[in-house]
A and B are shown apart, each in its own frame.
Chain A
Amino acid sequence: MSYALALGYLVLMWFLGSILSKQYPVEHRVAWDTRTIARVTILAAVAGAGAMIKIPGPATTIALDAAAGYFAASFFGWPVGATVAAIGCFLANALGGFASWLPMVPIYLAAMALTVTIAVFVAKKVNIVVAIIVGTIVNTITCLGPWALMIGTPLMIALLPSQIIGSAVNALVGLSVAEALKAAQNRKRPESID
């Protein structure tokens, strides 16, 4: 039964994705050329490596794996971001030894992709802080939801605080670094000064 739900979930996300792409036709026209693929690859590797940075915090240690996905979405548009989020988080979990990644593959990929997409959408329309909140909520629901169905609600409640804090921090770091880099890129080049 849970796999039927997973399927329905995927369909829902595909549906939402097509709506979103109609909303933002310019951004969704990403050219999947070599450069873009190279960027996705490296950022996915950063996500994987980010799983190793652990910041101790309230209730749990946080890994900076999803940050790369948020960054990519803000910097390069949501399709690239969604791909980085999906592949990067998959890699991060694989490397971090999170045992349940295998059977959850399609669910997890879609979850991260959707989260990142929505977050960036919100960031553009409203502002960063709201985007972080929204991103966190979506991330939590989509990533923990399937767990709840499979194993049971008590486990989900146990994981809730760390998931929320983790999502929020990743969103914060990813989005703010993207803004900082965009600002840096706008600085004058040496050529124009000379």
Chain B
Amino acid sequence: MASDIISLKDVTFSYKGSKRRALDGITLNVKQGECVAILGPTGAGKSTLACVMNGTAPRFMDGSLAGDVTVDGMVPAKVGTAQMASRVGLVFGDPDTQLFGMTVEEDVAFGPANLGLGYEGIMERVSKSIGDMRLSGLERRAPHRLSGGQKQATAIAGVYAMLPKIMVLDEPTSMLDPEGKARVFGIVRMLKEQLGVTVVLIEQEVDDILNLADRVFVMRSGKFVLSGTPREVFGRVEELRQAGVRVPQIVEFGTLVGATETPFSIEEAMLAVGSEPTTVGDATKAPSRAAHEVHKVHDAGNAQDDAVVQALNVEFTYPGGARALDGVNLAVGRGDFVAIVGQNGAGKTTLTRHFNGLLRPSSGDIRVLGRSAQGVPTIELCRHVGYVFQNPDEQLFCTSVQEELKFGPTNIGADPHVTSQRVEEILGDIGLTRYREVWPKYLTKGERQRLALASVVAMDPDVLIVDEPTTGLDWVESLQILDYLERLRNERKKTIIIITHDMNIVSLYARRVVVMAKGRVVGDGTAREIFSQPDLMELACLRRPPIADLSQALWGEVLLTPAEAAARLLAAKSQAAGVCSE
């Protein structure tokens, strides 16, 4: 086709040393100016596809490529890096390893400098790119002083400065908080609508893709299993589930209530159930019924003997002078599943690091299992409070899975026999028994995350604090980790505290939600109660899941899952039917 800027026909690719086909017969045609989204679980081959498009596979990635690949009229494998780089830009999820310069300016200049442009040419491109990506004012800033969203924006600016016609973005928002995600999606929209760039977006955030992409492809095991417009693809709920992709909540709701036309937005859903779509904006802003029933679940101001961990009037200031915690009172009871939510910088991580002694309060007290943690070193507290960090690679130290699980218990002096038994059990629980001798680096990210969590569970602490359990994971992997946490809570009576930005996870698993903003606890209740307070949500810069907005608009009440909403609707209908039949 004449206007196809990317054309792949029957493309297969295998990495060197692997018999498995990473790409297995991919045929894809993208028109100039289109925005194409590619979804799929980890390991589907999405990143490999991205590398094939910009020529780094097979040239850089060591493997064998078969099939026809034409990008902007050229065959990437046969053409040099400079040629491809000025046509196809590639941005991926890790904000740190894609930035090279000592300052934002230097980094954006990297691409043009590689192309051999002179000083004037480079600076022209740099200013244009920085301006377009709204990074003006940050030119001389060092990368480690930028927020995640700013870093990704810089990475995109750096690639854009090569003036490519096509931009491939490989899970650009996976490491970002909601603010960063919004920023990146805004940039994608701008690239598509204002700058006329063809965009290939690989993502897990299905809700945002709906309104952004012209076409959607779902990948699994190196093949496309679904393709079409967003409406066409997201309507096929069962196939999406099988492919391991999360179904947008509104769509799921529509399927459950048997809507004739799959709804994609709240307005469409309301129409589908026969309601007048009120101005959705008003409906979502009005406080709902549940708001009146909100009450503080726990009286956190005094020491509670039955609390597993407790913060009493905790204040904390970083050595540099930044005030991170401003009088926090929080008590967590045994067997609770608490989600701490809030913007980056609200103090969530700072607070949880007090519970195992990594940080000590400037004033106030931290109590663990009824006793003050003051003076008790982390190596003691870790027997009771386990802490799982966000990045699994920063807490896996050993050269085999088994060793890793033994590490914690051995250090705290657990009985070796008991430890061996526990390790066997845990290996089974997380499904890594056959991998016991494998070097953790060789596992997938999801497996490493499970391992990191398990290595802390192996110490058998009473409380498990997990910082961002689902970052960078696909939906199935996210559910696996959270199911494991819920099993620990339910079967082993552990107390679970998670820090997360994912409101879907919060709706499904958290029994209690603690909202933090600017170093204080500003909200504390069930997910339902919290989502019913729009002022609170706004203060903490949180966005509730679409189903909550929908149920609010329909019935003035916040519901958490599509199933709940469907049940509510059917109940209302049968009630109405019952009334009519009398």
Contacts and interface: CB of A to CB of B under 8 A. Distances in A.
Secondary structure at the A interface, as helix, strand, loop or mixed, is helix
A150 interface: no
Q: Quick one: which of B399, B435, B442, B443 has the most chain A CB within 10 A?
A: B442
Contacts of A191: 18, 20
A187 B435 contact: no
B181 to A, nearest CB: 27
B442 A187 contact: yes
Contacts of B20: 191
Contacts of B438: 187-190, 193
A187 B439 contact: yes
A190 B399 CA distance: 14
Interface string B425-456: 00000000011011101110000000000000
B400 interface: yes
B18 A190 contact: no
Contact of B435 (A34, A183, A185, A193): A193
Interface residues of A, number: 13
Contacts of B434: 193-194
B437 A184 contact: no
A190 B442 contact: yes
Given A185-B439, A190-B435, A191-B18, A180 B60 contact: no
Interface string A170-194: 0000000000100111011111011
B116 to A, nearest CB: 16
A189 B18 CA distance: 11
Interface string A48-63: 0000000000000000
A4 B237 CA distance: 78
Nearest to B436: A193
A182 to B, nearest CB: 10
Contacts of A183: 399
Contacts of A185: 439
A188 B440 CA distance: 11
Interface string A138-176: 000000000000000000000000000000000000000
A32 to B, nearest CB: 15
B434 to A, nearest CB: 6
Contacts of A188: 437-438
Contacts of B400: 184, 187
A180 B399 contact: yes
Q: Quick one: which of B18, B434, B438, B441 has the most chain A CB within 10 A?
A: B438
Contacts of B18: 191
Contacts of A187: 399-400, 437-439, 442
A188 B441 CA distance: 11
B406 to A, nearest CB: 16
Given A180-B399, A183-B399, A184-B399, A189 B60 contact: no
Contacts of B442: 187, 189-190
Contacts of A190: 435, 438, 442-443
Contacts of B439: 184-185, 187
Nearest to B19: A191
A184 B442 CA distance: 10
A33 to B, nearest CB: 9
A169 B435 CA distance: 34
A66 to B, nearest CB: 22
B194 to A, nearest CB: 33
Q: Quick one: which of A35, A180, A187, A194 has the most chain B CB within 10 A?
A: A187
Nearest to B447: A190
Contacts of A35: 60
Contacts of A193: 434-435, 438
B397 to A, nearest CB: 11
A185 to B, nearest CB: 7
A184 B441 contact: yes
Contacts of A194: 434
Nearest to A38: B97
Nearest to B20: A191
A190 B443 CA distance: 7
A113 to B, nearest CB: 24
A132 to B, nearest CB: 21
A156 to B, nearest CB: 35
Nearest to B432: A190
Contacts of B60: 34-35
Contacts of A180: 399
10 contacts: A35-B60, A183-B399, A184-B441, A187-B439, A188-B437, A189-B438, A190-B435, A190-B443, A193-B438, A194-B434
Give the 10 A-B residue pairs with the shortest CB-CB distance, closest first: A184-B399, A184-B439, A187-B439, A189-B442, A193-B434, A190-B435, A190-B438, A190-B442, A187-B438, A187-B437
Interface of A: 34-35, 180, 183-185, 187-191, 193-194
Given A187-B442, A189-B438, 11 more contacts: A34-B60, A180-B399, A184-B441, A187-B399, A187-B437, A188-B438, A190-B438, A190-B442, A191-B18, A191-B20, A194-B434
